[in-house]
Chains A and B, each alone.
Chain A
Amino acid sequence: MSKPVRISNEREIVDKILQGDKKSFSLIIKATENLVAQILFKMVRNEDDRKDLAQDVYLKVYNNLNGFKFESKLSTWIAQIAYNSCINYLGKKKPESISDKFNDYDDDEQIISDVNVGNESSYYQVEKKIQGDELKQILEKEIDKLSPVYKTLITLFHNEEMSYEEIAAITQLPEGTIKNYLFRARRILKNSLLKKYNSGDL
């Protein structure tokens, strides 16, 4: 993984680029590509499409840089462009992909009803039995089963440690909706793990 570059003065870099210093744009790419990768990997499964989208995102950023008003962090603005590009991409895909991006998990309640408090106590023991890498791997697979939007929200909140406000700026979703989606996503993950353990898969 390439080492992320830190930009100390965003305004200075943006001004330099707008005045013709094209090379400075590579600093912006290097500083934000990990965040863009997080979003693209969660939203888009196809590797070739991801490659094209990543380039499109930065070309959009470059062509619209004079419209950036410094009302948010530059990385937030770029992440917003990445997220919107993914949503547009999913919208152009086949119908099942469209419904999948905002999957409302009709079977969520079924999963929940399958789990009782007794099972949750068992999960506590699982947590003691399988730790570290194994649990991480299982969880990684379970996260991958979530809808693209749920996956992205989980990643932005837990991996990137963003606030609800920042996530709202990126996704243009109301904070209440973000909290609700995150709540449901975490509950799905927890119950999937419990169900998996109780069915003897673990």
Chain B
Amino acid sequence: MKSNHLTDQEIQEFLFGQSTVDKDINSHIESCEECKIKIVNYKTIAGSIKSINSPSFDFDLSGMVMEKVIAEKPRVKLSMHLIISFLLGVISFAVITVCANYVVVETNFLEYITKDVDSFAIIILSVSLIIGMIYTIEILYRHKKMINMINAK
């Protein structure tokens, strides 16, 4: 059995520890009046705290928030704008470069694409177009979702 009196820490651990307590501590508490008093004090405090009324807002929080939520416009993040702008810029540059060369060469478009434009430019153009399409689909999907949110009441 533990011979010294329990420390505040041990008493709090015994009462609020949410884990098993040492057997020595248990048997000390059973036989020590002084430590029992300390336990009663902490129990009293804990019980009184629990019985304190919870505060509440004296205004209609739900009403105020919902007013703002319903009025809120959809927002597209700045990073998304930057990505879209960058991709559109790359695609436009690639398309303009290819078309400008086509105008200068003045030949059949299919022939021009297969013979005159080098394969590296075609790869860049294709990848840009694919990425652009994926983003466009995603933007349209998000836009549809936001429109639904705005219209919903």
Contacts and interface: CB of A to CB of B under 8 A. Distances in A.
B116 interface: no
A120 B41 contact: yes
Contact of B48 (A20, A139, A155, A163): A139
B55 A124 contact: no
Contacts of A23: 66, 152-153
Interface string A1-16: 1100000000000000
Contacts of B46: 158, 186
A63 B65 CA distance: 12
A159 B61 contact: no
Interface residues of A, number: 51
Given A22-B153, A120-B37, A140 B42 contact: no
A164 to B, nearest CB: 6
A29 B70 CA distance: 14
Contact of B152 (A22, A26, A34, A182): A22
B109 to A, nearest CB: 44
The range of chain B's interface size is 35 or more
A120 B44 CA distance: 13
Contacts of B48: 135-136, 139
B120 to A, nearest CB: 39
B49 A37 contact: no
A20 B74 CA distance: 11
B65 A29 contact: yes
A135 B49 contact: no
A127 B41 contact: yes
Contact of B149 (A22, A140, A189, A193): A22
Interface string A21-36: 1110110011001100
B69 A22 contact: yes
Contacts of A1: 54, 56
Given A1-B54, A21-B152, A117 B34 contact: yes
A22 B148 contact: no
A75 to B, nearest CB: 14
A198 to B, nearest CB: 13
B45 A25 contact: no
B44 A38 contact: no
Interface string A42-53: 000000001100
B149 A58 contact: no
Interface string A125-163: 001000000011001100100000000001101110101
B38 A120 contact: yes
Given A20-B148, A183-B9, A59 B56 contact: no
A185 to B, nearest CB: 10
Given A121-B37, A163-B18, A2 B56 contact: yes
Contacts of B51: 136
Given A37-B56, A62-B69, A139-B52, A187 B152 contact: no
Contacts of B55: 37-38, 41
Interface in B51-107: 51-52, 54-57, 59, 61-62, 64-66, 68-70, 72, 75
6 contacts: A22-B70, A37-B54, A41-B55, A55-B61, A58-B65, A139-B49
Q: Which 3 A-B pairs have the closest CB atoms?
A: A20-B148, A20-B152, A1-B56
